[in-house]
Amino acid sequence: MAILKVLEIPNPRLRCTAQPVANVSEDIRRLMDDMAETMHALSNAVGLAAIQVGVEHRVIVINAEKEDGGPQFLYKMANPEVVWASEDRSTSMEGCFSVPEAYAEVERAAVVHATYLDENNQPQKVEATGVLATCIQHEIDHLNGVLFIDYLSPLKRERIIKKLEKVRRLRA
């Protein structure tokens, strides 16, 4: 397994639309494992999309509590798709390793039903609420070239971008 480099804005690859995988092959399983290792190496990481590591496949990994309240569970999802979203909304503080050191409240569906292929190429369904629902929506957005800052007002988005540019100048 390997720790992969996470792309940051304004990298144009983050705006690409990821392509579906035909099946979960050994290469896709290796990608999922590398993404999971990368996510665990990042402090406070909950999810990661393949597009964030420069791979244009519809693959995400999420580390969240199972809906039954069980312990943390590592979801490895290929071709994830929200097939139903509640009209009820939920607002939560979101951040992203592709938009480092930036956080903002984002409103999303409170409950989603999603389908995906697991690491064994088996079709799965999940009904998600709370952090898992937010994370599924956030990571699928990445696969569609959408960042959480796109949900913000132009003024808030511009402030975040300017702050990141300043941080980069200070790092250089």
- Distant-in-sequence, close-in-space partners of 30: CB < 8 Å, separation ≥ 6: 1
Catalytic, out of 105, 107, 139, 158: 139
Burial classification of residue 77, based on how many CB atoms lie within 10 Å of its CB (0-12 exposed, 13-18 middle, 19 or more buried): buried
Q: Cα dist. 105→91, 94, 148, 157 in Å? A: 6, 6, 9, 12
User: 3-state DSSP call for residue 43?
Assistant: coil
Q: CA nearest 18: which of 73, 75, 60, 46?
A: 60
Instruction: Round to whole Å and give the CA distance between 137 and 108.
Output: 8
Indicate if 139 belongs to the active site.
yes
Query: Active-site residue numbers?
Result: 139
